[in-house]
C-alpha cells in the first residue's frame, strides 16, 4: 500500500509474548482462541477499541484542564509581595481564593448593560485616577452609561486631573464599540436560557444535547479570542455563557438517560440494565446510577452483602463499521471502578458488587 507521507505511520510487530499479554488484559474471557490466525484477527479490533476509548478520555481530560486554566487566568489576581511568616502566607492564599470566587460569581448573571457599565467605569478610573471612584460612577449613570458624553464633561471640568500617559484619542475611545456591544447583547439573548420543547422525545433531547455542546465550544472560542485581544471582562462574560451551556447540557443528558431507562427497563428484572440505543456519555451516567442504587440497597439491608448485576451493552452491530463502542468502553469503565466483572457473551457483562463496593461519589475522578 502506498502512503504520501510514510513518516506518519509506524509498523507494530505482534509477537507471541505481546499477543499473550494483550489477550490476558483485553481479551474476551468467555472465548477460547484456537490458533494464531484467530488471535491475529481479534487483536486489531481490541487495539482499536482500546485506543479509541483512551483517545476520547485523553481529549476530554485535556479540554477540562485547558478550561480550568483558562477560567483561572480570567480572574487572575495581581501579584502580592511574599510574606516571611508561613501562617500569613496561608491566610493570604485563602483570601486570594475567596476574591477569585467572588469575582467569578459576580459574572455569572451579569447582563450586557452591566458589563458595559463596569468596563466604562474601569476606564474612567484609569484615565482619572485622582477622582473619587463613586463620583465617576454616579456621573456615568447620570449620562445613562454613555462613556463619550461622560468623558467630554470630565475633560471640560477636570482636564488637569487626567492620566497624562494616555493621549486624548485613547481616553475618548470607549471600551466597547457599538458593534461589539450589539454582538454581546445578541449572544446573551441567544444563549442565556435553556431550550424549551413541548413534550420532547429522547431524540429531541439528543438534538438539544448536540446543540448545547456546539454552543459551548463556540462560546469558549469567543472567550479565548477576546482574552487575546486584552478584553478580559468580555472574555469572562463569554466564558460564563459557555458554562451555562455546559450546565444545560448536563441537565438534558440526565433527561435522555431517564427516558431511555424507562424504555429499556420495561419487563426486565431489577438486576438487569439495558444500554441499547444510548451514547457513551449517557451510558456511563446510567451505569453509575444503576450501581449506586444496588450498592446502597446492600448497605441498608444487612441480610444480603453481595449481588450480581447484568449490563447489556449490545454487540455493536449498529455501530459504524460494525465495531462495538459501548462494550469495550463500559468494560474499561467498570474495571476502573475496581469491580469484579466477566463477559457473559459478546453483548453482556456480569458485575459482582458488595456492600463495600464504592459509590460514584466515593471514587477518585475517573473518565
Question: Three-state SS string across 64-91, please?
Answer: HHHHHHHHHHHCCCCCCCCCCCHHHHHH
What mean pLDDT do residues 9-26 have? 59
User: Within 10 Å of residue 277's Cβ, how many Cβ atoms?
Assistant: 14
**CA 342 from chain center: how many Å?**
31
CA dihedral (189, 193, 194, 198) positive or negative = negative
Which pLDDT does position 82 carry in this prediction? 45
Return the higher-pLDDT residue of 129 and 258: 129
**What is the C-alpha end-to-end distance of the chain, expressed in Å?**
37
Position 89 confidence tier, pLDDT thresholds 50, 70, 90: low
Q: What is the pLDDT of residues 317-352, one digit of tens each?
A: 767 677 778 888 899 999 989 999 998 888 899 999
Position 37 confidence tier, pLDDT thresholds 50, 70, 90: very low
Return the higher-pLDDT residue of 250 and 53: 250
Residue 139 has pLDDT above 80, yes or no: yes
Position 223 confidence tier, pLDDT thresholds 50, 70, 90: very high
Which pLDDT does position 104 carry in this prediction? 46
Do β-strands 272-274 and 306-312 pair in parallel, antiparallel, or remain unpaired? Answer: parallel
Q: What is the pLDDT of residues 179-192, one digit of tens each?
A: 999 999 999 999 98
Give the integer Cα–Cα distance in Å for 318 and 277.
Answer: 9
Give the integer Cα–Cα distance in Å for 316 and 347.
Answer: 8
Which pLDDT does position 38 carry in this prediction? 46
Helix/strand/coil percent split, the chain, to 5 = 65, 5, 30
Which pLDDT does position 100 carry in this prediction? 52
Q: What is the mean pLDDT of the chain?
A: 77
Residue 13 has pLDDT above 60, yes or no: no
Extents of the domains making up the chain: 6-72, 110-176, 177-261, 272-362
Domain 272-362 indexed as CATH 3.30.1370.110? yes
* Total-model pTM: 0.57
On whether the CB atoms of residues 248 and 194 are closer than 8 A, the answer is: yes
Return the higher-pLDDT residue of 162 and 196: 162
Residue 210 has pLDDT above 90, yes or no: no
Which pLDDT does position 283 carry in this prediction? 85
Give the integer Cα–Cα distance in Å for 64 and 321.
Answer: 30
Q: What is the pLDDT of residues 248-286, one digit of tens each?
A: 888 887 777 777 667 666 666 788 888 877 788 888 888
Residue 24 has pLDDT above 90, yes or no: no
The partner residues of 350 in beta bridges, in order of sequence, read 310, 342
Amino acid at each position: 500500500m502506498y502512503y504520501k507521507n510514510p513518516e506518519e505511520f509506524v509498523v507494530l510487530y505482534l509477537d507471541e509474548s505481546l499477543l499473550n499479554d494483550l489477550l490476558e488484559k483485553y481479551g474476551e474471557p468467555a472465548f477460547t482462541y484456537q490458533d494464531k490466525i484467530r488471535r491475529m484477527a481479534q487483536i486489531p479490533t481490541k487495539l482499536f477499541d482500546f485506543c479509541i476509548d483512551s483517545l476520547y478520555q485523553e481529549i476530554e481530560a485535556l479540554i477540562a484542564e485547558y478550561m480550568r486554566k483558562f477560567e483561572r487566568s480570567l480572574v487572575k489576581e495581581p501579584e502580592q509581595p511574599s510574606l516571611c511568616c508561613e501562617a500569613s502566607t496561608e491566610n493570604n492564599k485563602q483570601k486570594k481564593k475567596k476574591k477569585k470566587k467572588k469575582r467569578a460569581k459576580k459574572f455569572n448573571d451579569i447582563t450586557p448593560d452591566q458589563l458595559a457599565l463596569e468596563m466604562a467605569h474601569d476606564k474612567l478610573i484609569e484615565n482619572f485616577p485622582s477622582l473619587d471612584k463613586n463620583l465617576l460612577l454616579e456621573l456615568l449613570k447620570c449620562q445613562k452609561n454613555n462613556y463619550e458624553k461622560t468623558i467630554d464633561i470630565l475633560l471640560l471640568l477636570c482636564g488637569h486631573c487626567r492620566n497624562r500617559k494616555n493621549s486624548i484619542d485613547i481616553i475618548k475611545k470607549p471600551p466597547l464599540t457599538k458593534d461589539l456591544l450589539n454582538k454581546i447583547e445578541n449572544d446573551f439573548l441567544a444563549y442565556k436560557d435553556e431550550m424549551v420543547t413541548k413534550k420532547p422525545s429522547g431524540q429531541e433531547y439528543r438534538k438539544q444535547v448536540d446543540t448545547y455542546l456546539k454552543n459551548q465550544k463556540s462560546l469558549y472560542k469567543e472567550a479565548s479570542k477576546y482574552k487575546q485581544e486584552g478584553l478580559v471582562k468580555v472574555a469572562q462574560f463569554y466564558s460564563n455563557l459557555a458554562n451555562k451551556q455546559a450546565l444545560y447540557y448536563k441537565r438534558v443528558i440526565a433527561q435522555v438517560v431517564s427516558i431511555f431507562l424507562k424504555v429499556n427497563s420495561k419487563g426486565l428484572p431489577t438486576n438487569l440494565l439495558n444500554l441499547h440505543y444510548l451514547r457513551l456519555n449517557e451510558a456511563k451516567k446510567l451505569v453509575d446510577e444503576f450501581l449506586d442504587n444496588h450498592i446502597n440497597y446492600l448497605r441498608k439491608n444487612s441480610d444480603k452483602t453481595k449481588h450480581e448485576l447484568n449490563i447489556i451493552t449490545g454487540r455493536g452491530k449498529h455501530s459504524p463499521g460494525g465495531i462495538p463502542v459501548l462494550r469495550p468502553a463500559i468494560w474499561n469503565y467498570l474495571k476502573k471502578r475496581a469491580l469484579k466483572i466477566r463477559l457473559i457473551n459478546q453483548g453482556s457483562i456480569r458485575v459482582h458488587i458488595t456492600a463495600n463496593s464504592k459509590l460514584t461519589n466515593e471514587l477518585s475522578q475517573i473518565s
